[in-house]
């Protein structure tokens, strides 16, 4: 069975952090975004926004359009507006994510409103591995410090640093030659599985039900998931359930038992064990931790 779904457009400022709803630049740590969106980010795009992801460690699996990349260690991937992409990072991976309004990028690079300029051709999606002393890493860290400061001409300094970051991204894109591709049919089946997980994860479907809907065997489904994302099909489902549990603990006042029922767990004690097994802390401990983090950020 072929699953057809519309690729969602995600506006970070509206969906994730409304403090930046109208900002031209949003800078966030990967860990914070992963706590909200999960480590297995299904296919999506960003209308009129460029994105730069820098993953500092672990394995990274990235899909940009129909291309698939697998890297170990420091990884950068660049996503222009409206380019469909998805990615999977390890649970311990850290990094940075820059989301930049299209008009700001054009202005900083003198791209003539994005038309009739050779630089437009260099702003293509790509994924590459970085060395430890790559210039863009120190530029990113300097940019973050400037964003957090209130010094003289802070906005001017921020835009100058961002301009240098974008120039370095273009240079990396030009040098980047390597890519690893999977069969497009496997990528399509993987995205179909993710869509079914999104629709049915609270129903606790067995793997056989997912495989039957997609029209393949359980073993092939698991093989595709491991090859494309580095995760088993079961782990992908668990990650989605845990993602929703963490969101509910952070953004609602529901009790742990209520959250468990909402996620399809009939026994609150079983949900409590499930959460602790996959997060190394109790649900109450997690809620207390994220509450303290939010308070410290204000």
Query: What is the CATH number for 275?
Result: 1.10.10.60
172 plus 189 within the same structural domain: no
* Domain end (from 141, 176, 211): 176
133 plus 216 within the same structural domain: no
Task: Answer yes or no: are the C-beta atoms of 74 and 127 closer than 8 Å.
Answer: no
Residue 4 lies in a domain: no
Region 66-86 average pLDDT: 89
> What pLDDT is recorded for position 42?
83
**14 falls in which pLDDT band (50, 70, 90)?**
low
180 has a pLDDT exceeding 50: no
289 plus 271 within the same structural domain: yes
Residue 2 lies in a domain: no
110 plus 145 within the same structural domain: yes
How many domains is the chain built from? Answer: 2
* Domain end (from 126, 151, 176): 176
Region 122-139 average pLDDT: 90
197 plus 99 within the same structural domain: no
Task: Answer yes or no: are the C-beta atoms of 137 and 161 closer than 8 Å.
Answer: no
* Domain end (from 142, 176, 210): 176
273 plus 198 within the same structural domain: yes
Distance CA 45, CA 43 (A): 7
> What pLDDT is recorded for position 226?
85
Task: Provide the whole-model pTM.
Answer: 0.67
168 plus 276 within the same structural domain: no
146: helix, coil or strand? Answer: helix
Sole residue written with tokens 């802070």: 154
152 plus 113 within the same structural domain: yes
> What pLDDT is recorded for position 143?
96
54 plus 128 within the same structural domain: yes
44 plus 158 within the same structural domain: yes
161 plus 227 within the same structural domain: no
Pull the structure tokens for residue 48.
């009129």
33 plus 138 within the same structural domain: yes
Residue 1 lies in a domain: no
Count CB atoms within 10 A of the CB of residue 105.
Answer: 24
> What pLDDT is recorded for position 255?
96
> What pLDDT is recorded for position 2?
46
């Amino acid at each position: 069975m072929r699953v057809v779904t519309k690729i969602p457009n995600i506006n970070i400022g509206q969906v994730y952090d409304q403090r930046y709803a109208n900002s031209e630049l949003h800078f966030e740590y990967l860990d914070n975004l992963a706590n909200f969106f999960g480590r297995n980010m299904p296919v999506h795009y960003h209308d009129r926004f460029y994105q730069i992801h820098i993953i500092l460690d672990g394995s990274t699996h990235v899909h940009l359009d129909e291309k698939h990349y697998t890297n170990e260690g420091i990884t950068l991937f660049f996503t222009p507006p409206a380019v469909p992409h998805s990615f999977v990072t390890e649970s311990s991976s850290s990094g940075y994510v820059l989301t930049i309004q299209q008009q700001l990028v054009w202005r900083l690079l003198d791209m003539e409103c994005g038309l009739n300029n050779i630089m437009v051709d260099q702003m293509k999606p790509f994924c590459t591995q970085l060395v430890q002393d790559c210039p863009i890493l120190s530029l990113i860290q300097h940019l973050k410090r400037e964003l957090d400061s209130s010094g003289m001409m802070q906005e001017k300094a921020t835009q100058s640093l961002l301009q240098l970051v974008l120039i370095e991204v273009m240079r990396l894109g030009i040098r980047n030659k390597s890519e690893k591709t999977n069969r497009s049919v496997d990528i399509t089946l993987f995205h179909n599985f993710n869509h079914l997980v999104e629709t049915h994860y609270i129903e606790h479907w067995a793997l056989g039900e997912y495989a039957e809907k997609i029209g393949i065997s359980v073993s092939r489904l698991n093989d595709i998931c491991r090859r494309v994302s580095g995760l088993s099909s079961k782990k992908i489902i668990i990650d989605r359930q845990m993602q929703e549990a963490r969101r509910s603990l952070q953004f609602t006042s529901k009790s742990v038992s209520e959250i468990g029922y909402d996620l399809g767990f009939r026994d609150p004690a079983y949900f409590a064990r499930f959460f602790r097994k996959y997060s190394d802390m109790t649900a109450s401990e997690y809620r207390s931790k994220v509450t303290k983090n939010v308070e410290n950020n204000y």
